[in-house]
Structure formats: C-alpha cells, structure tokens
Structure 1
Amino acid sequence: MIKSTGKKAPRTAQSTDVFQTLRDRIASQELAPGSKLRENDLAAEFKVSRARVREIFSTLEQRGLIERIPNRGAVVMRLEPKQVFEIYDVREVLEGLAVRRATENSPVGSWQAMLDQFGEQAETMIGAGDLETYAALINTFRREIIIRCDSPILSSMLDTLFERTGFLVRRLILVPGRALEGLQEHRAVLTAMNEGRAEDAERLKRSNIRAARECFRRYQKLVL
C-alpha cells in the first residue's frame, strides 16, 4: 500500500484560466503587439501540457488576438490602422444597439449610481492623472451595458471587439484633452439611459464612438 506524503499536488490551471490571463495580458499590452508566445514557457508557468497551450493558442488565434507564423511560432497580433477604423465602425453600430437595449431593459433611474461615478469622482481621477482607474471605470460601464442588454450574441461580438482594442482606450485617454471630452460624452449617454431615453442614448453612444475614432485618426502614430 502506498502511503500519502501529506503534500498536495500543485494546482494545475484550467484552460479557461490560462486563456483569460493571456487575453488580459494582451488587452492591457503587458504582452505588446509582436511579442512572441513560447509554448514551453507558458506550459511551465501555468503547469499545463504543451498540447493544452496549443489549444489555447488556437482560441486566441480565432479571436484575432495572436497569429501563428511559420518558423516563428505564435506572436501577438499587431493591428493596422485600417483594421482599427473597421473595428470602430462596427463598434459604433453594436455598442449603440447594446446601449439602446440596456436602456429599454432597465427601470428609469437605475443608472444613477453609475452616473454619479462619472461625476466629481471621475473628474478627480483625471485631474490627478489616475487614468488607469478611469479606464477601469469605463470598462465597468461597458460590462454593465453588456449584462443589461441581455443578448448573448451581441455580448459575444462586443467581447471579441473589446479584446482586440482594449489597449486603445488606455492610449487614447492619454491624448491631451481626450479624457475630459470622453467623460462629458459618457455623462450624456448615462443621463439619457437613466431617464429611459433609449433612442437618444443610442445616438449619443454612437457619437461617442465616432469621436474616439476621430481622435485615433488624428493621433494614430502615437497610439499604435
């Protein structure tokens, strides 16, 4: 009979855990565009097999986050300006729709707490240069929209777009004046949502995306 040593085996990460971690690293540009992903290193870090890592690479590739190049292996996808403009065009339509649905699905006044966060609290973040926290607040707003729009198909499509362009939010709010402009735009969207004006909220959200797109057009060499 084999006796137990009393030691627990090291926890092996689940595929979803590894995927989520790599996705977050790519979105935040901890793994910058062009970075190489090494199977051996990741297998050792997460205590999974190389076959499992390759499966995760396949999922990341399907989502447009990495590409596998012959003789080079897996590298983080580098977006070209044309791709970014196309993503913004799609985001304008889909995010506008999501905002309208989320407004229609929510009682009047139910967005007040979120609207309050985009008040003095957000102004203080921007004034103090705490743009990471402000970017996180924007992301929280987006996640709440996705939850309340109650559309698995729309949510999946938006998640894929956010994964590919999450780093742009952080880059664009560094452009002089953009953070405060964006704050005013988000307040307008939230005010319409809180008052139950679904069509106005959709129009304002689409305007917000167009403004971000224009900012990218002007500063694309700095952002990418």
Structure 2
Amino acid sequence: METFGIQHYQAFLLASMALNLTPGLDTFYILTRSGREGHAIGMAAALGINAGCIVHTLAAVLGISAILMTSALAFSVLKYLGAAYLIWIGARMLLSRATARQSTETRGMGFRAAFRQGMFTNVLNPKVALFFLAFLPQFVSMHALHPQLGLLLLGLSFIGTGLTWSTVLALMGGRIHRLLTTRPQLGQWMDRVCGTVLLAFGIKLALQQRS
C-alpha cells in the first residue's frame, strides 16, 4: 500500500460502504429493472452501473475528469446528454402499453439492454465523474512512487463494495418481480411510478451546477 501511496484504507472502505448504501439513482434503477424483469436483469443493470464506475475511475486516474471541473462546456454537454437519456428512459416507461407484459426479448429489453442502460446512466452523469475525482485522491499521497495505481486500486475497491450492495438490491428486486407476475396491474402502476421518478432524476440532473 505504501508504494501506491494509499492512506487510511480502512476509513476509505467504511466511507465507500456508507456511500453505496445511500439511496440514489443507481439504487432505484437496479430495483426497477429487477422488479420488472427478475433478479438476473437486475444483476445486468448492476454490472452496467459498476462498469460505468470503472470508466470514471480510469478517467480520474488519467486526469480526464479534471476537464469537467475546469470546462463549463464539457460539464454542460455531458450533463444534458445524461439528463436527456434519463428522460428518454422515463418517458418510454410512462408510455409503455399495458399489454406489453411479454418476455424481455420480445420487448427489446433483456440482459444487454439493462447492462447498457445502467452503464450509460452512470457514465453520462458528470457529478459521478467529479465525485471520483474529488473522493479518491483524499486517500492517496501524490508523493508515492505510483499514485496512479493507488487511485486505481481505491476505485476498484469502491466498485467492489458497490457491486456487493448492488447484488443485494438485485435479489431484493427479484422478490418484487415474483409478486408482480401474479398481479399484472401492480406492474403497470410500477412502470408509471418508475417512469415518473426517472424523469425527475433527468430534470434534476439538467438543473445541477458544477459546484
């Protein structure tokens, strides 16, 4: 750890677990996908979100995330892309027909779609990029031989705790899915509620500032 400049690793892990347990867009998205399509699809969403975290970790290590902090244009472009994507997903859920209780394959959804959407909702959120840029360096000494490797290891550790909690959420959503399969009307209401919440997340992201 000293070679990589990592400091107070135990405190970092505790902070990571606390942050992962805090409800947010990722939590809601995993529960939504697993609740509507089963725990396997929820796991796909979880893997996609954590793949997005890998992208943010690499961006922080390479210094790319710093561009978002210094460039208002770059921040705004990414922010509005992310907001538009969330609004699009939410609108699709709101406008989905009540008859679309078919298999995930015939609805154009499924494992790959859940993974892709999970990854994009994470990657296109500039606040997540700035979080990794601000959070990871607090636990790494820049005077170490390989501080970039220290940042990478911390990012992977954060992802490890996040993936563990994401798995729990996917399993919880799977229980909701079993309930919804016996009560289709509840599923229709869930689509409407989830679509509305995703729209709200999109609007909130569009209104966010860098500070």
Q: TM-score, length-normalised on structure 1?
A: 0.30
Tell me: higher relative CO, structure 1 or 2? Use CA pairs within 8 A at least 6 residues apart.
2
Q: Per residue, is there more helix in 1 or in 2? A: 2
Larger strand proportion, structure 1 or 2? 1
TM-score under structure 2 length normalisation: 0.31
Name the larger-Rg structure.
1
